[in-house]
Structure 1
Amino acid sequence: MTDATPTPEALRAGADRLVSALAAHSDPEYRLTVLKRVVRRLGEDRYPLFIRLLGVIAESDDARAQRLIADTFGTALRRMDLPGGALSSWGATRLPDSTGPVAVSSLSGHFFGATPRRLLGPVEYLTVWHLQRTQRTALGAATFRTALSRLIALLNRSEDARTLYPQKLAADAQNELEGAYTRATRDRLAAIASAWRAGQSPDAVAQAALAADETSHPSGWVVRDL
């Protein structure tokens, strides 16, 4: 993928290749290896593309493909080894003032100094991207809600993912020491976990994430779509 936005045809083709790569293997552990390899080859600056591919699969009428992806995430959650993407910590300093997308390749270790960075699963990634200052232009609320709803609908295809992911989010929401999440982000993660565990619809879970804190982005923030 280049800086150009992928076409719907390219996204569908990419999603089909992803599903085919997983379906070629019967071992759940190896499927997880394949999924992580796909994310690694995309590179951390293109993790949003991975989330978009998941959204394409979620919107499809291929229930088998959806279960395949969701079950692979279930395996990842059992192993506590989610395929994730990196965002700069909320405590980062000297972030660029540019209003456009920032190439991750330009953000050296020297640029961020000792800023903590950690891999985030897709739900956490979307939430941090929406709420916190990172190396990316902030994600708009409507896009956040839509992407989160699709993702949860997809993950609900697996009993393991449906059960274990909200447990992980609830645990993350209690962790104040890691520096990856602001208090507002922890509140949103807790709201997602609570609504998800209660069996609410994906749309309701996504709305609960927004309703947890109605505070808008600070003045001067530029937001974008996924």
Structure 2
Amino acid sequence: MSDVPPIPSPTALRAAADRLVSALAAHADPEYRLTVLKRLARRLGEEQYPVFLRLLGVVAESDDVRAKRLLADTLATALRRMDLPGGALSSWGATRLPDTVTPFAASALTGQFFGATPRRLLGPVEYLTVWHLQRTQRTPLGAEVFRDALAGLIELLNHSDDARTLYPQKLAADAENELEGAYTRATRERLAAVAAAWKAGESPQAVAQAALDAVPEQAPGGWVVRDL
């Protein structure tokens, strides 16, 4: 499994987060703000999506309520459009059998068919959950890091009424989808637990703990876990 590229220094992260907030604040149009946020995620690239999550975390950890609201409202716009800035992780069980009615060539049995590289884009909460719980191309996140990162993200999103309403609805819908193949049953259970606790108005820390309490720790003995 490939690992996460080196995280920039705290100073560099703070400077980048400040530039992001300034760029969002410079435009009144919510759609344009979303374009700015998605452009950042795209420029960082798939392997650097954890850096995007860390930038969200820097804002979440700050005392700047205006910046938090601005970023949360931008993510709410993404939720309304069902267009969250996402990152890719290897999908468990995302392969499909070829159509057995029509003939197919042996060349159709590619690495992707056998489950080597199927991926889908995941929003911030879903990405953290899959990264922590499933076998992907990354070294899994440890439980404490997952809980703290998830709590910070939820605290950030709670600064927008729309995000606080729409994101749990999305997670609940994702948890009920057994056919897409992006999530294991344990992951769906955790997403459902997050959605239920979030909808119930639990604190961000309680919501994150509910995710851990939903199912037993899944990482087999000997797995290496990492920090965000």
Please confirm whether the aligned pair reaches a TM-score higher than 0.5, indicating the same fold: yes
Gapped runs of 5+ residues in structure 2?
A: 96-109
For 2:206 and 2:217, how far apart are their aligned partners in 1?
19
Cα deviation, residue 91, structure 1: 2.9
Aligned to 2:161: 159
Say if 2:7 and 2:51, in contact at 8 Å, map to a contact too: no
Q: Match for 1:172: what amino acid? A: D
Partner of 1:81: 83
- Indicate conservation of the 8 Å contact 2:94/2:181, yes or no: no
CA RMSD of superposed structures (Å): 1.6
TM-score by length of 2: 0.88
How many residues matched?
209
User: Could you say which residue in structure 1 is the equivalent of 2:18?
Assistant: 16
1:220 CA drift (Å): 2.9
What is the DSSP-based 3-state SS (H/G/I as helix, E as strand, rest coil) of the residue aligned with 2:85?
A: coil
Which structure has the bigger radius of gyration?
2
User: Equivalent residues in 2 for 1:75-224 (5 A)?
Assistant: 75-91=77-93, 112-113=112-113, 115-224=117-226
User: What is the CA-CA distance between 1:112 and the residue it aligns to?
Assistant: 4.4
Q: Deviations over 1:52-99 (max 9, x none)?
A: 010110010100000000000110001111110000111379xxxxxx
> C-alpha distance in 1, partners of 2:151/2:33?
24
Do the aligned residues in 1 keep the contact of 2:190 with 2:214 (CA within 8 Å)?
Answer: yes
Structure 1: runs of 5+ lacking an equivalent: 94-109
Aligned to 1:57: 59
Deviation at 1:222, TM superposition (A): 1.3
% identical aligned pairs: 77
CA contact (8 A) 1:92 1:112 kept: no
- Structure 1 residues 176 and 3, CA gap change in structure 2 (3 angstroms): closer
The alignment's TM-score, normalised by the length of structure 1, stands at: 0.89
Instruction: Measure, in 2, the Cα distance between the counterparts of 1:3 and 1:44.
Output: 11
Alpha-carbon deviation of 1:214? 1.9
* Partner Cα separation in structure 2 for residue 111 and residue 11 of structure 1: 37
Is the partner of 1:87 in helix, strand or coil?
strand
